[in-house]
């Protein structure tokens, strides 16, 4: 397996510099937020998690999905997938690191990370997730190791299976961060965990396809045609599964009278969320990828990349609706009463993301990209150009 | 390794005896001291609670809010990001049109969602039912604010000035009503309760819900009261009358 930038080493530096500039801007933004407090963000007492969390949760959820290719190769024994497994694992680690960086730097007290690492409340889904994130790092790093070291070739099956099982639990944990919030109509739902698993499968595969194409610049061979067509179809299946679970999530909410006001807000009149949901998640994130994945007219490699890009764009729209919209809808503390107060009771919360928040989120993407590029340069993760993989 | 010499053995024995003698009074103190003594732990025999009588609470009166801000050194709220430990909510019955007013603060749940979700255990409930935040272990993740059904928690969005000795605060941490724990531990009542009485409304009653002879217990036995979002079964220490 070749390494990235092997045949054009000079091209590595501008790529690293570009990533480093974005990362530095993100660190600067985080420092600015820490000095002045979160008053310089758009977040407040109602929308307590904003744009940084959209980026972070996208990266964390997509990270587990980026492992799809490795999982199909190692767990289900599909030979075509195996040569691409190391890149898939590298992306998973890189994206999780990027997502966690954003989450940590958005904390009110990021310097207390050591407190978070030494004080565990085992009733907290967040605390479970800290264990799940670290376990994911360890298992995927082990997987990468046994994949790249010929001596350990026999271990890829068991380690890959363990990583696959762990990633399912990890995404369940990420979904449960929201699913266990009993008081909020947008979140208290058992469907959220499986929904997040389906979303992660689609987002992760889309991220893999985009990263693989981007690494073409660094010397990665294009995906063998037959293999690409399989991934194209698989992407379509994952997108359909996510859309189906999303439909169940909203249908169950609509069934309960007490949730109908929230559903009306998200789906009909709570601008800008209905537009983002229908146009962003519905058309861009679901309709277009399904068309490109299954219609024979769009079987070319460019269409597959557009489908992957549309899935990622839809993911951001969906997460914005889910995270920000879910908090913007007022809590119903006094059912049966119209309420008002100087603390935003009864009112839809406004949220306008600020530049530092956006830069911080972008920094998560930059860190993931940098780690992927450095990893692809340092380890033999790119599949050989012979194309044997797809046959 | 050689066996300890008799002299050394004797020294170790004496040291152990001395250490035991030194620790024992502390052990006994912890075990038998009553909770009311200064420095003693909160007692689970007590469940501090608050009754909010919305039939007595005057619309437009914010004496409780002002008293809370003064007591805890909270700045007068001017912007949406400013902290509010207690707020006045104006209510209008959607069916009858009847208007009511009531303060809302931390409900001091027996099953507090904020304590469940806090990753570091910074949100905690004392044995006597008071829900608080340990400012030394709060990392500012705001998960508790996502989980609180009552919007009772505030995140400190800016550097803090003018802190009070009894209420340590800090930028980047979450905080909420602590029932004026420093006053309660000294045998007093929360500032909001005092100010409401001074304003002549007597809409707030504080006391021990576990003590059948306390004023609050007598009142909630005599009149119908409710807990906010009782459907969630968080078993709030704050009860409302008239809602």
Exposed/middle/buried for residue B23 (C-beta within 10 Å: 0-12, 13-18, 19+):
exposed
Q: Which residues pair with B208 in a beta bridge?
A: B48
Residue B163: the pLDDT is 93
Q: Which residues pair with B167 in a beta bridge?
A: B164
ipTM passes above 0.90: yes
| Alpha-carbon distance B208 to nearest alpha carbon in chain A (angstroms) | 25
Give the Cα separation of B222 and B188 in Å (integer): 24
CB contact under 8 A, B87 and A343: yes
Which candidate from B119, B150, B232 shows the least CB-CB separation from A124? B119
Cβ–Cβ under 8 Å, residues A52 and A45: no
Residue-wise pLDDT for A205-233, tens only, equals: 999 999 999 998 888 889 999 999 999 99
Residues of B whose CB is below 8 A from A116: 119-120, 139
How big is the A-B interface in CB pairs under 8 Å?
173
Q: Are strands B238-241 and B48-53 parallel, antiparallel or unpaired?
A: parallel
Residue-wise pLDDT for B204-237, tens only, equals: 999 999 999 999 999 999 999 999 999 999 999 9
Q: Residue B8 in 3-state DSSP?
A: helix
Residue A387: the pLDDT is 43
Residue B16: the pLDDT is 55
What is the residue-wise DSSP string for A5-73? Answer: TSS-GGGHHHHHHHHHHHHHHHHHHHHHHHHH-GGGSS--SSS-S-HHHHHHHHHHHHHHHHTHHHHHH
Q: Which residues contact A171 (CB under 8 A, 6 or more apart)?
A: A61, A64, A65, A193, A196, A197, A200
Cβ–Cβ under 8 Å, residues A63 and A320: no
Question: For residue B224, what are its two tokens?
Answer: 């119908």
Residue B14: the pLDDT is 55
Q: Which residues contact A391 (CB under 8 A, 6 or more apart)?
A: A80, A224, A226
Q: How many Cα neighbours within 13 Å face the side chain of A382?
A: 28
| Chain A interface test: which of B144, B151, B236 (most A C-beta within 10 Å) | B151
* Regions of chain A with pLDDT less than 50: 387-391
Residue B33: the pLDDT is 33
Give the Cα separation of A106 and B137 in Å (integer): 16
Give the Cα separation of A373 and A94 in Å (integer): 9
Fill in the DSSP letter of residue A208: H
Q: Residue B238: which of B222, B227, B225 has the closest Cα?
A: B227
Give the Cα separation of A210 and A302 in Å (integer): 11
Q: Are strands B131-133 and A337-341 parallel, antiparallel or unpaired?
A: unpaired
Question: For residue A186, what are its two tokens?
Answer: 């947008």
Q: How far is CA B182 from CA A6, A319, B167, in A?
A: 67, 42, 8
Q: How far is CA A19 from CA A228, A363, B33, in A?
A: 28, 8, 61
Domains along the sequence of chain A with CATH: 9-329+349-380 (1.20.1630.10)
Number of other CB atoms surrounding residue A226 within 10 Å: 12
CB contact under 8 A, B141 and A344: no
Residue B12: the pLDDT is 54
| Alpha-carbon distance B88 to nearest alpha carbon in chain A (angstroms) | 6
CB contact under 8 A, A342 and B90: no
- Helix A51-66 × helix A156-179 angle, to 10°: 150
Task: For residue B10, give the H/E element and its range.
Answer: helix B6-32
Which candidate from A48, A109, A113 shows the least CB-CB separation from B146? A48
Residue-wise pLDDT for A294-334, tens only, equals: 999 999 999 999 999 999 999 999 999 999 999 999 999 99
pLDDT tens digits in sequence order for chain B, 243 residues long: 444 454 555 555 555 555 544 444 444 433 333 345 777 889 999 999 999 999 999 999 999 999 999 999 999 999 999 999 999 999 999 999 999 999 999 999 999 999 999 999 999 999 999 999 999 999 999 999 999 999 999 999 999 998 999 999 999 999 999 999 999 999 999 999 999 999 999 999 999 999 999 999 999 999 999 999 999 999 999 999 999
Give the Cα separation of B173 and B196 in Å (integer): 29
B205 φ, ψ (degrees, to nearest 5): -125, 130
Exposed/middle/buried for residue B177 (C-beta within 10 Å: 0-12, 13-18, 19+):
buried
Residue B1: the pLDDT is 40
Cβ–Cβ under 8 Å, residues A125 and A176: yes
Residues of B whose CB is below 8 A from A344: 80, 151
Task: For residue A337, give the H/E element and its range.
Answer: strand A337-341
- Helix A301-319 × helix A51-66 angle, to 10°: 140
CB contact under 8 A, B143 and A116: no
Q: How far is CA B38 from CA A119, B43, B206, in A?
A: 28, 12, 21
| Alpha-carbon distance A106 to nearest alpha carbon in chain B (angstroms) | 8
Residue B10: the pLDDT is 55
């Amino acid at each position: 397996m070749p390494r990235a930038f092997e045949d054009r080493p000079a091209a590595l530096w501008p790529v690293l510099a570009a990533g480093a500039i974005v990362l530095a801007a993100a660190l600067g933004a985080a420092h600015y937020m820490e000095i002045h407090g979160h008053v310089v963000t758009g977040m407040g007492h109602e929308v307590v998690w904003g744009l940084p969390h959209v980026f972070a949760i996208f990266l964390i959820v997509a990270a587990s999905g980026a492992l799809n290719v490795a999982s199909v190769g190692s767990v289900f024994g599909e030979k075509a997938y195996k040569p691409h497994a190391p890149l898939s694992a590298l992306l998973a680690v890189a994206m999780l690191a990027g997502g966690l960086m954003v989450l940590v730097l958005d904390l009110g007290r990021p310097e207390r990370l050591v407190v978070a690492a030494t004080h565990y409340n085992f009733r907290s889904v967040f605390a479970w997730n800290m264990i799940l994130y670290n376990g994911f790092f360890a298992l995927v790093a082990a997987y990468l190791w046994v994949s790249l070291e010929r001596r350990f070739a026999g271990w890829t099956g068991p380690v890959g299976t363990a990583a696959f099982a762990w990633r399912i639990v990890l995404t369940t944990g990420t979904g449960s961060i929201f699913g266990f919030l009993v008081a909020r109509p947008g979140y208290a739902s058992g469907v959220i965990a499986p929904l997040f698993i389906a979303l992660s499968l689609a987002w992760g595969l889309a991220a893999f396809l985009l990263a693989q194409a981007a690494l073409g610049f660094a010397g990665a061979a294009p995906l063998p045609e037959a293999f690409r067509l399989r991934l194209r179809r698989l992407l379509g299946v994952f997108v359909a599964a996510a859309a189906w679970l999303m439909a169940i999530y909203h249908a169950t909410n609509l069934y309960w009278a007490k949730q109908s006001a929230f559903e009306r807000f998200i789906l009909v009149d709570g601008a800008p969320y209905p537009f983002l949901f229908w146009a962003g998640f519905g058309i861009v994130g679901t309709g277009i990828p399904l068309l490109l994945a299954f219609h024979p007219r769009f079987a070319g490699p460019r269409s597959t990349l557009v489908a992957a890009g549309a899935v990622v764009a839809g993911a951001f729209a969906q997460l914005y609706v889910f995270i920000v919209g879910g908090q913007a809808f007022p809590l119903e503390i006094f059912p049966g009463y119209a309420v008002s107060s100087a603390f935003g009771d009864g009112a839809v919360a406004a949220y306008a993301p600020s530049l530092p928040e956006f830069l911080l989120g972008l920094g998560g993407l930059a860190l993931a990209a940098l780690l992927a590029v450095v990893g692809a340069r340092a380890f033999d993760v790119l599949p050989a150009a012979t194309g044997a993989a797809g046959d | 390794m050689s066996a300890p010499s008799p002299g050394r053995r004797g020294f170790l024995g004496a040291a152990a005896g001395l250490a035991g003698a030194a620790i024992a009074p502390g052990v006994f103190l912890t075990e038998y001291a009553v909770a009311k003594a200064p420095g003693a732990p909160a007692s689970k025999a007590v469940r501090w609670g608050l009754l909010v009588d919305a039939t007595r609470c005057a619309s437009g009166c914010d004496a409780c809010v002002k008293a809370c801000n003064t007591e805890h050194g909270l700045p007068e709220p001017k912007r949406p990001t400013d902290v509010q430990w207690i707020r006045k909510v104006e209510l209008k019955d959607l069916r009858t049109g009847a208007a009511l007013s009531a303060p809302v603060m931390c409900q001091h749940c027996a099953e507090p969602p904020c304590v469940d979700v806090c990753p570091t255990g910074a949100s905690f409930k004392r044995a006597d039912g008071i829900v608080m935040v340990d400012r030394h272990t709060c990392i500012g993740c705001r998960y508790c604010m996502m989980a609180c059904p009552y919007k009772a928690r505030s995140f400190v969005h800016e550097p803090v000035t003018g802190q009070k000795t009894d209420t340590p605060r800090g930028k980047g941490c979450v905080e909420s009503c602590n029932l004026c724990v420093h006053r309660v531990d000294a045998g007093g009542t929360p500032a909001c309760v005092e100010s409401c009485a001074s304003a002549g409304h007597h809409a707030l009653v504080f006391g021990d819900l576990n003590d059948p002879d306390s004023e609050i217990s007598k009142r909630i036995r005599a009149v119908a009261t409710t807990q906010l979002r009782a459907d969630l079964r968080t078993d709030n220490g704050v009860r409302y009358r008239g809602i």
